[in-house]
Amino acid sequence: MKHILPLGLIGLIIIGVLYFLQDDYPRPLEADFAQAISDQDFTATFFIDGAGEEREIGLRLDLQDMRRMNTISELEFFVDGIATTFYYQDLVMNEFNGSVTKRQSCLCEENDYRPIVRVNFKERGEVYSATYSFNLQIEEPS
């Protein structure tokens, strides 16, 4: 019994250290169809997941340089397309980990999506903008 208690305590310490020191990184995007466009600020990925009435479309923004993560104080983007229009806005940025994903259900039947995405962000008091044009075509299995 004298040997089991210290080993159990050491095990609990190791588990606690592993839990608190784990990396908080964005999970990989899992979607049926996706297209990514990168520039010096972000990688923007427009995606479509599911089919029929359960189809979801969305946008994921990943910051290119994680060292800039704490310098961005506001972020918003607008997705404008024939199938759908939606936006995301965060003017506080308390929980920004370098990646933002916005999903929305879509009752659309199109196989050709060409949304235009406008991203605005504030970094160190300066406002910056970027525009991305996507052309995503869906190949439904027959």
Q: Which residues in 16-84 belong to E strands, given as ranges?
A: 33-38, 42-49, 56-63, 72-80
CB contact at 8 A, 77 and 37: no
Query: Domains in the chain: how many in total?
Result: 1
Query: For every one of its 142 residues, what pLDDT tens digit does the chain have, with 9 covering 90 and above?
Result: 677 888 888 888 888 777 777 766 556 777 888 899 999 999 999 998 887 677 889 999 999 998 888 899 999 999 998 878 999 999 988 878 889 999 998 877 777 889 999 999 999 999 999 999 999 888 765 5
In a domain, 21, yes or no: no
Nearest one of 38, 33, 45, 48 to 83, comparing CA atoms: 48
CA angle 118, 136, 56 (to 5 degrees): 80
- What is the pTM assigned to this prediction? 0.76
In a domain, 36, yes or no: yes
Domain range for 107: 26-137
Output the domain CATH number for residue 98: 2.60.40.10
In a domain, 4, yes or no: no
